[in-house]
Structure 1
Amino acid sequence: MTTSAPVRTPFSRATTALEVVRDLDLTGRRAVVTGGASGIGVETARALAAAGADVTLAVRDLDAGHRVAAEISGSTGNDRVLVAPLDLADLGAVAAFVRTWDGPLHILVNNAGLMASPELRTGPGWEMQFATNHLGHFALATGLRPALAAAGGARIVSVSSAAHLRSPVVFEDIHFRERPYEPWPAYGQSKTANVLFAVDATRRWADDGILTNALMPGGIRTNLQRYVSDEELDRMRAQSGGGAAAWKTPEQGAATSVLVAASPLLDGVGGRYFEDCQEAGPNQPGTRTGYAAYARDPEAAERLWAVSEAHLRG
């Protein structure tokens, strides 16, 4: 981490992504947003495009991607919104995306995700949430490292969640081969992995000018919750102390991602965890805010990197 003082901004949980970029000019910068065709990915891409960036929506559903790209171009006047295929659960598809990328990359937003799914596995037998939320993004970021280094001052945005408080990475049984599968602990450890990635990527790549931060976007009703019942969502919201007003709009939910991706307030900052457009502190008992100590443990981050590399080697 390159600075010690907590980052404070004039923004809040009510801020929208477009408000974050209102005075920014990202002309000439190139960005990739995974999962850019739905949820907060759409609004993240829209804000970056509105500020002038060239934006590539990396998506599984190309038809949806093209529809969203056309809508973003229409609303922003930026016709440099492109679409490329990417299935994070398929390392071959990730490698294909990396091979086709040409030139520098200034912003990589690791936004796509799978939440609290039933037990699903990839071809190698990996638990699907960990494979999609962490391993796919790990393969993408490490594959694109030369492009990020070539940009000079590149940023990686690692979209995590307060659900990381549910579980550390259980290195002894990441893929639930020995313990009974549980959707929420599986999701939680994948989101912890997103924070740990930010910690070790910054340590490893800061000399290349690449800085990575993690964030909690907030509670937003999107397709991400397709496996979660309304009753479960209501229970979770009650536990967090929030009512209906606790939900953010997608435009508000994307604000912290866009802050981490583009704000000059984060120049030189890496390995941190943000929520509601502010740097968060350690989690306090009985709350659902802040980061768990295990999520920013440098030893765990280094161990996860080694484990992830081993997965990619097969």
Structure 2
Amino acid sequence: MARFISSSNSAFTATSTAEEVLERVDLRGKSAVVTGASSGIGIETARALAGAGAHVVLAVRDVPAGRRAADDILRTHPAASLDVRGLDLADLDSVGRFTSDFSGPLHLLINNAGIMMTPELRTAQGWELQFATNHLGHFALALGLHPRLRAAGGGRIVSVSSSGHGMSDIRYEDLFFDRGAYDPGHAYGQSKTANVLFAVEATRRWAPERITANAVMPGGIWTNLQRHWEPRALAEAKSYVERAGIAMKSPAQGAATSIFAAASPLLEGIGGLYLEDCQEAETVPEIVNGTHGVRDYALDPESAARLWEVSRELLRQNS
């Protein structure tokens, strides 16, 4: 099946950096929110957007760390327009405060924050923490900021997913591992599948309002995201990467596809895609080398619509 975005019309590759993607893009007058912007690809996403002239809100759980990140960005771009605001995606009250305090149009919402392979932990609502943080928190954030995205007259949402979505489809029968044994890989996998399905359904619902959403796979990057891995598992993963010859990315390279989704003219009015290496990924029966391709269940429109309704009901029950 033909793809919208491929190497034939995207000049960028796996080695492109976020700032290279924005080299000829002027974002002055645009506003952006980047969740998880205090480290990793989040800070590099915020840095690139600010360097292109956007006003960037660093939405972070750890506000002092967010301020240190802002100071680091200002050393690179002294004229950057930045704001640091607290946001805990696992706390619906925190999400509500963030969205109610936000004013003005919002052009770019980068749902970047995430946790990975945690021990079995739960929110105040009893929700499994990875699904609650990676999906439900960002879902609530997008719903709350929807009027601001609409006011921008062309808002874009970037949903940072992962090739880890290949570990699990949505477990509708037991979303929070209330009945079955907890599996951190499956929990992470379904949360990343949810990130893709959100982009599919958000675009279907909001495209008439000129709001689109795309999911992205940043690539293989060693960051704080792996902090919950068992030391032996992390060592084995690094050994596999080396044996397989998989090229790992720097955080600046990892942020490139998020920036591409946020600002490329090629994606004007286009949403519901899963992008990797600044191109649209191929649909595959299994993830290639652990990093490439998208599973068909992550793009299934029926599942996307179902997940939206399930998620909205969960938020309603806990409002």
TM-score, length basis structure 1: 0.95
Is residue 2:164 matched to residue 1:163? yes
What code does the residue aligned with 2:254 have?
A: G
What code does the residue aligned with 1:294 have?
A: Y
Hey, what's the Cα distance between the residues in 1 that align with 2:247 and 2:76?
28
Following TM superposition, where does structure 1 have runs of at least 4 consecutive aligned residues deviating by more than 6 angstroms? none
What CA deviation, in whole Å up to 9, does each residue of 1:196-250 have, x standing for no partner?
0000000000011100000110111111110113532343456568657622100
Per the alignment, do residues 286 and 15 of structure 1 end up closer, same or farther by CA in structure 2, a change over 3 Å counting? closer
What's the offset of the Cα at 1:281? Answer: 1.2
Could you list the runs of 5+ residues in structure 1 that have no partner in the other structure? none
| Aligned match for 1:299, one of 298, 302, 310 | 302
| Aligned match for 2:5, one of 7, 16, 24 | 7
The worse-fitting range, judged by mean Cα deviation, of 52-61 and 224-233 is: 224-233
What CA deviation, in whole Å up to 9, does each residue of 1:181-209 have, x standing for no partner?
01010000000000000000000000111
What code does the residue aligned with 1:7 have?
A: I
The worse-fitting range, judged by mean Cα deviation, of 69-78 and 280-289 is: 280-289
Counterpart contact for 2:166–2:287, Cα < 8 Å: no
Per the alignment, do residues 70 and 241 of structure 1 end up closer, same or farther by CA in structure 2, a change over 3 Å counting? closer
What code does the residue aligned with 1:304 have?
A: L
Matched position secondary structure for 1:156: strand
Q: What aligned pairs does 1:48-87 form with structure 2 within 5 A after superposition?
A: 48-87=49-88
Per the alignment, do residues 274 and 285 of structure 1 end up closer, same or farther by CA in structure 2, a change over 3 Å counting? same
Per the alignment, do residues 95 and 181 of structure 1 end up closer, same or farther by CA in structure 2, a change over 3 Å counting? same
Counterpart contact for 2:198–2:304, Cα < 8 Å: yes
Matched position secondary structure for 1:251: helix
What's the offset of the Cα at 1:6? Answer: 2.2
What code does the residue aligned with 2:303 have?
A: A
Hey, what's the Cα distance between the residues in 1 that align with 2:123 and 2:107?
30
What's the offset of the Cα at 1:261? Answer: 0.8
Q: What aligned pairs does 1:1-314 form with structure 2 within 5 A after superposition?
A: 5-8=3-6, 9-236=10-237, 246-285=247-286, 287=288, 288=290, 289-314=292-317
Matched position secondary structure for 1:40: helix
What's the offset of the Cα at 1:98? Answer: 0.3
What code does the residue aligned with 1:127 have?
A: E
Matched position secondary structure for 1:308: helix
Counterpart contact for 1:237–1:243, Cα < 8 Å: no
What code does the residue aligned with 1:261 have?
A: A
Counterpart contact for 1:149–1:209, Cα < 8 Å: yes
Hey, what's the Cα distance between the residues in 2 that align with 1:49 and 1:74?
12
Matched position secondary structure for 2:56: strand
What's the offset of the Cα at 1:49? Answer: 0.4
The worse-fitting range, judged by mean Cα deviation, of 259-268 and 293-302 is: 259-268
Aligned length: 311
CA-based RMSD of the aligned residues comes to: 1.5
Counterpart contact for 1:21–1:51, Cα < 8 Å: yes
Matched position secondary structure for 1:246: coil
Counterpart contact for 1:133–1:190, Cα < 8 Å: yes
Hey, what's the Cα distance between the residues in 1 that align with 2:17 and 2:232?
28
Hey, what's the Cα distance between the residues in 2 that align with 1:27 and 1:217?
25
Hey, what's the Cα distance between the residues in 1 that align with 2:181 and 2:96?
32
Hey, what's the Cα distance between the residues in 2 that align with 1:204 and 1:245?
37
Per the alignment, do residues 121 and 286 of structure 1 end up closer, same or farther by CA in structure 2, a change over 3 Å counting? closer
Hey, what's the Cα distance between the residues in 2 that align with 1:191 and 1:155?
19
Counterpart contact for 2:287–2:294, Cα < 8 Å: no
What's the offset of the Cα at 1:119? Answer: 0.3
What's the offset of the Cα at 1:22? Answer: 0.7
What CA deviation, in whole Å up to 9, does each residue of 1:100-144 have, x standing for no partner?
000100000000001000000000100000000000000000110
What code does the residue aligned with 2:295 have?
A: A
Counterpart contact for 2:3–2:280, Cα < 8 Å: no
Matched position secondary structure for 1:164: helix
